[in-house]
């Protein structure tokens, strides 16, 4: 994917990001990372702005939070839905110099690096330049992303695996970035590094509407972006989509995704 392109771009992407963001989970992760009242916070890759709003609440009283996203459409959505005192939204590419944003006490990067397989370390290096000495950088991302299901037919499993492999090759997507986060901070000389491993998705039993919307949107948008050929399905994408949705709505299905959070402190 070229510079400025985003794998999951669609007219409903801001809504998808908004709906799937669990406020309590974000609060737990940010408190674990060390967010405190009065901090100047950057939410890089802020998407729909919901995480920015949550982080801003945690930095009160006295905190300021800047939400940054590459998409003007999502920044517009964030302004409309999550504008509040102490919040600023900016449209920037985190691969570019970010000096104009100023310096921060706490930088949050959640579900962003997975979209930049070849550039993810350089991105972390770049954003660390706007972190104050002694400030905290928290990286949160998935490992084995979209690949942990039980109950798939052999054909469906082969196709899902094939999609993810081509996403790596053609869209620079990284299903395994979560396991790399610790080494990134280590190599940059961060101190007091800590890691937390938990689950993001645990889906079993009756399917929730939010999970249905999120996952079905994933299999609708991402394969089309890379022109994936559904060779195992005579009916192409439509036949694949029907089987995947049937699997995913079956309460027997089990799906989970590991979540890895890594925090570190920039040396004084």
* pLDDT at site 28: 97
* pLDDT at site 46: 97
CA pair distance 203, 197, nearest whole angstrom = 18
Contacts of 252 (CB under 8 A, 6+ apart): 151
CA pair distance 209, 156, nearest whole angstrom = 22
pTM: 0.94
The percentage of the chain sitting over the pLDDT mark of 70, rounded to a whole number, equals 98
* pLDDT at site 205: 98
8 Å CB contact between 178 and 258? yes
* pLDDT at site 2: 41
Structure confidence at residue 9 as a pLDDT band (50, 70, 90):
confident
E strands, the chain, are: 40-44, 64-69, 87-91, 104-110, 131-142, 149-150, 191-203, 254-265
* pLDDT at site 119: 97
Arithmetic mean of pLDDT, 146-173 = 96
CA pair distance 106, 104, nearest whole angstrom = 6
Pairing of strands 254-265, 191-203: antiparallel
5, pLDDT greater than 80: no
* pLDDT at site 61: 97
* pLDDT at site 8: 80
200-224, pLDDT tens digit by residue?
Answer: 989 999 999 999 999 999 999 999 9
């Amino acid at each position: 994917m070229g510079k400025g392109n985003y794998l999951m771009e669609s007219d409903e992407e801001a809504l998808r990001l908004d709906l799937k963001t669990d406020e309590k989970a974000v609060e737990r992760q940010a408190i674990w990372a060390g967010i405190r009242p009065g901090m100047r916070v950057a939410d890089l890759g802020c998407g729909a702005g919901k995480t920015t709003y949550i982080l801003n609440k945690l930095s009160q009283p006295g905190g300021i939070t800047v939400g940054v996203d590459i998409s003007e459409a999502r920044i517009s959505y964030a302004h409309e839905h999550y504008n509040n005192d102490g919040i600023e939204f900016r449209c920037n590419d985190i691969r570019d110099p970010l000096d104009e944003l100023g310096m921060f006490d706490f930088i949050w990067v959640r579900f962003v690096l997975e979209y930049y397989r070849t550039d993810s370390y350089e991105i972390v290096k770049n954003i660390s330049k706007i972190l104050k000495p002694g400030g905290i950088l928290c990286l949160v991302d998935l490992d084995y992303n979209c690949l942990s299901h039980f109950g798939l037919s052999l054909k469906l499993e082969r196709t899902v695996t094939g999609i993810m492999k081509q996403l790596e090759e053609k869209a620079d997507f990284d299903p395994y970035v979560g396991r790399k986060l610790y080494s990134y901070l280590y190599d940059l000389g961060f101190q007091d590094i800590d890691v937390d491993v938990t689950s993001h998705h645990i889906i079993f039993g009756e399917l929730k509407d939010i999970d249905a919307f999120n996952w079905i949107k994933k299999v609708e948008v991402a394969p089309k972006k890379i022109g994936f050929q559904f060779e195992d399905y005579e009916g192409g994408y439509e036949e694949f989509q029907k089987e995947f949705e049937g699997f995913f709505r079956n309460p027997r299905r089990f799906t989970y995704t590991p979540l890895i959070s890594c925090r570190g402190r920039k040396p004084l």
